[in-house]
Structure 1
Amino acid sequence: MRDDTPRERLRQARTLRQEMTIAEAILWKHLRGRGLLGMKFRRQVPIGPYIADFACVSERLIIELDGPPHENAERRERDQRRDDWFLSNGWRVLRLSNERVIGGAALDDISRVLSAPSSDPASPGHLLP
């Protein structure tokens, strides 16, 4: 059983930051240091009972990268429960495939979401490119 104490989530987040996937490293290279639209992003951020891949706190935007482990039905159900939790707590969730990140299309997707007016009906909620 997973230990969900705040201390354990912090330890887990630190480990995830040290063991980034190729797609995470590519995206982080562009997001770090306010590299995209001047927005501050954090990586492997504990939020509630979960750890988000990337988060822009000021915009309440979470970016989740999905690779092969996310393709089975059980993992998709777990991802949906996570997304539902984030959404019910005021976050928007943008899920991107590793292929979009590696291929360079993810930055356009993120920029589009960040540039959308907050009153845009497509803005809140679960966002897919």
Structure 2
Amino acid sequence: MDDPVTFARKLRREQTAPERRFWVILQPWRDAGLHWRRQAPLGPYIVDFVCKPAKLIVEIDGDTHYSEDGMIRDTERTAFLESRRFRVLRFTNAEVMDNAEGVFGVLSGILGEPGSKSTPS
């Protein structure tokens, strides 16, 4: 396997449709100055999206995450990330593609409305 930085760059170039859609959903917070990174190495993992100022990681999960092995790996991964004081939020591919308003609503509940004083900076 490539080193984590090279592998993260490859993942950024080859984003899935749900990952691209989620990046668009994040746009209002990004425009308000909240810094997000895509496919970012964190410890032994590469997380889909991270907002370090808000200590929030968002994972966009496809079908492989719902197998027995996938759920075990995700549990270990989440435990590691939470031990670093991050909150880990997961959306399915279908949620991102078919319910962008709902995803936006969940993010608003955590981050505050884009550009509001409650938005972490």
Q: The TM-score by the shorter chain falls in which range?
A: 0.7 to 0.9
Tell me the residue number matched to 2:108. Answer: 111
Cα separation, partners in 2 of 1:33 and 1:44, compared to 1, 3 Å = farther
CA distance in 1 between counterparts of 2:33 and 2:94 reads: 25
Instruction: Give the counterpart of 2:37 among 38, 42, 61.
Output: 42
> Is the contact made by 1:65 and 1:95 (CA closer than 8 Å) also made in structure 2?
yes
> Is the contact made by 1:32 and 1:41 (CA closer than 8 Å) also made in structure 2?
no
State how 1:11-22 maps to structure 2 within 5 Å.
11-22=6-17
Does residue 28 (structure 1) correspond to residue 57 (structure 2)? The answer is no
Instruction: State the aligned residue count.
Output: 110
Structure 2 gaps of 5+ residues are: 113-121
Cα separation, partners in 2 of 1:44 and 1:91, compared to 1, 3 Å = same
CA distance in 2 between counterparts of 1:80 and 1:27 reads: 22
Structure 1 gaps of 5+ residues are: 116-129
Tell me the residue number matched to 1:99. Answer: 94
Report Cα offsets for 1:41-62 as digits up to 9, x if no partner: 1100101111110000101100
State how 1:62-101 maps to structure 2 within 5 Å.
62-101=57-96
Identity of aligned residues (%): 36
Tell me the residue number matched to 2:117. Answer: none
Kindly state the Cα deviation for residue 30 of structure 1 after the two structures are TM-superposed.
2.8
